[in-house]
Amino acid sequence: MAQVPVQTIHRDPQLFYWILFPITIVMILTGVLRHYASVLMQSAPKKLDQKAIREQRSLLHGINLRGNFHALSKKSFATRRDALVTAFESGAYLKDPERAGQGQPNPLSDPSSMEGMMGMMKNQMAMIIPNTLIMSWINAFFSGYVIMKLPFPLTIKFKSMLQAGVMTKDMDPRWMSSISWYFLCIFGLQSVFNFLLGSDNAASQMAQQMGGMGAAPQMFGPGVDPDKQFKAEAENLAVIEHYSVLDNVEERLLEGITV
């Protein structure tokens, strides 16, 4: 039985010290730098004026009433509902009542929303620029050869990922090149950053990308027409069929509790 000979490649042990370590250290340092840069660039959340707060919280008030109406008796729920529905429909809580019904304001013309977008741009830039730089640095200096062998076997599919830039068809996928070490660092340094900077750091780009994708549609963001929100909420409130958690509470209590 012919055994597949174990591939051995004689590497200069110095590769380890001059490539692997530098890449890792540079990655960690950029992560730390990015964290502090984004802390510095963060602008304080913008102050809302009293009318804007009133608008937002009144809407929340309506949502709360819709969600927790069961804590009230039917009569007190009905009075609240009537008052809120009238106020919502007449636009009493709007920040600027005369703009009601004019449809969506253009988000680009609103200076406050521009600021939010600038903040997002800044974050994106802080992520993209260092990544491009490091990647071109690695490509310029360290491309084209393998630097280490992973201590565990891998399937052939990993070849294109781990041996990027090496283009040798028959080489075992366990051998990896410097650019793949770079990718491993991108994905694997999260826990290192957590350890160094605390768990809510801005160093890891992965977390930021996830956050960008999974963010819920903003409730009070730019481009949302508060008048429409109020009308929709009024409609939601109007259709509620009231029940109270206090109905039959005595029976439930007597069944549930034994001394």
Residue numbers at the binding site for other proteins (CB under 8 A): 47-51, 53-54, 57-58, 60-61, 64-65, 68-76, 78, 244-246, 249-254, 256-257, 259
Beta strands in the chain (DSSP E): 146-149, 175-177
Token pair of 245, please? 């958690």
Torsion from C-alpha of 213, 124, 183, 154, nearest 10 degrees: 10
To other proteins, the closest distance from the beta carbon of 173 in angstroms equals: 44
Would you say 87 or 161 has its CB closer to other proteins? 87
Question: Which secondary structure element, helix H or strand E, spans residue 231, and what is its range?
Answer: helix 226-238
To other proteins, the closest distance from the beta carbon of 230 in angstroms equals: 14
To other proteins, the closest distance from the beta carbon of 104 in angstroms equals: 24
Would you say 2 or 254 has its CB closer to other proteins? 254
To other proteins, the closest distance from the beta carbon of 246 in angstroms equals: 4
Contact status, residue 85 vs residue 237, Cβ threshold 8 Å: yes
Would you say 20 or 196 has its CB closer to other proteins? 196
DSSP string spanning 125-186?
HHHHHHHHHHHHHHHHHHTTSEEEE-SS---GGGHHHHTTTT--TTS-TTEEEHHHHHHHHH
Would you say 56 or 139 has its CB closer to other proteins? 56
Would you say 206 or 249 has its CB closer to other proteins? 249
CB contact set of 243 (below 8 Å; sequence gap of 6+): 70
Rounded to whole angstroms, the Cα distance separating 237 from 69 reads: 10
What are the two backbone dihedrals, phi and then psi, of residue 66, each rounded to the nearest 5 degrees?
-65, -40
To other proteins, the closest distance from the beta carbon of 44 in angstroms equals: 11
Would you say 54 or 231 has its CB closer to other proteins? 54
To other proteins, the closest distance from the beta carbon of 119 in angstroms equals: 21
Rounded to whole angstroms, the Cα distance separating 180 from 165 reads: 9
Would you say 41 or 53 has its CB closer to other proteins? 53
To other proteins, the closest distance from the beta carbon of 170 in angstroms equals: 54
Token pair of 105, please? 């304001």
Token pair of 235, please? 């409609």
Rounded to whole angstroms, the Cα distance separating 64 from 46 reads: 25
